[in-house]
Amino acid sequence: AFMTAFYMFRLFFQVFTGHFRGDHHTAHHLHESPPNMAYPLLVLGVLSVIAGAVFGFPPDHGLYHRFVEPIFEAAHGSEAAVEHATGAVVEHAAEASELVMAALSLAVALAGIGLAYLFYVKRPDIPAALAEKLRGLYNLLLNKYWVDELYEAIFIDFGKAFCRFLWGVDAKVVDGAVNGSGWLTMRLSVVSSWYDMKIVDGLVNAIATLIQGGSFTLRRLQTGAIQNYILAMALGIVGMVVFYLFL
């Protein structure tokens, strides 16, 4: 409550009090909010001021409490059952204690508002003096504990580096393997084509040529003349006789 009241009224005092810190160009373009923005803000502002007092009091019996009462009926029933079963006494906060806590919260909030008024209206030199004196703490708070820098270093920069690594793996390893396999397949296809055309087809064609040439030679021996066949038979018989006589 203290810090919220302090920084909200710090913003209020810096915006609506003191001297104008903009230039002439900025002042020339300043304008009020149009009605479609001003009226909703007006309604929200009025409700933020009076809604708690109108709907929240008296404590435990206000309009807001009656509105949310059905939500807590089950919890209250379970609490009563536990009290009945165990005999334990559950103490409830009294209305007076709630008023004390509300008054204490209001006092803390007023203290935050007062400190903001002191720093940024009454004595605007105090924040600069404290910032100069507590330079380390001032830089820590000014840089928001360097959460953004840590987040960028841990998550964003690491994520970028990891993405670059994945890109390198994809471009060099995956694409390299795919392109390498394509290149190897092309070279193997060239070798396979040469082997098929020169070796396999050459062997088949050579056998066909040999058979064709042999059949052409044998065909010339078959003249169709009977005397040639008789001469061949006679020469065969003579050859057989010579073979058996001399061997």
According to the model, what pLDDT value does residue 90 have? 44
Q: What torsion do the CA atoms of 108, 113, 116, 117 make, to the nearest 10 degrees?
A: -130
DSSP string, the chain: -HHHHHHHHHHHHHHHSS---S-HHHHHT--PPPHHHHHHHHHHHHHHHHHHHHHH-STTTSHHHHHHHHHHHHHHHHHHHHHHHH--------HHHHHHHHHHHHHHHHHHHHHHHIIIII-THHHHHHHHHTHHHHHHHHTGGGHHHHHIIIIIHHHHHHHHHHHHIIIIIIHHHHHHHHHHHHHHHHHHHHHIIIIIHHHHHHHHHHHHHHHHHHHHH----HHHHHHHHHHHHHHHHHHHHH-
Q: What angle do CA 12, 17, 23 make, to 5 degrees?
A: 105
Sign of the alpha-carbon torsion through 66, 70, 71, 72: positive
Amino acid in position 167: W
Residue corresponding to tokens 């009241």: 5
CA distance 167 to 160: 10
CA distance 230 to 236: 10
Mean pLDDT by 10 residues, the chain (247 residues): 92 86 79 90 88 70 69 59 49 65 91 94 90 91 91 93 94 91 92 90 90 79 75 87 82
> Which pair of tokens denotes residue 135?
């330079």
CA distance 225 to 92: 139
CA distance 120 to 10: 7
Amino acid in position 57: F
According to the model, what pLDDT value does residue 72 have? 66
Q: Are 145 and 35 a contacting pair, CB within 8 Å?
A: no
Is the backbone peptide bond immediately before 34 cis, with ω within 30 degrees of 0? no
- pTM greater than 0.85: no
According to the model, what pLDDT value does residue 169 have? 93
According to the model, what pLDDT value does residue 232 have? 80
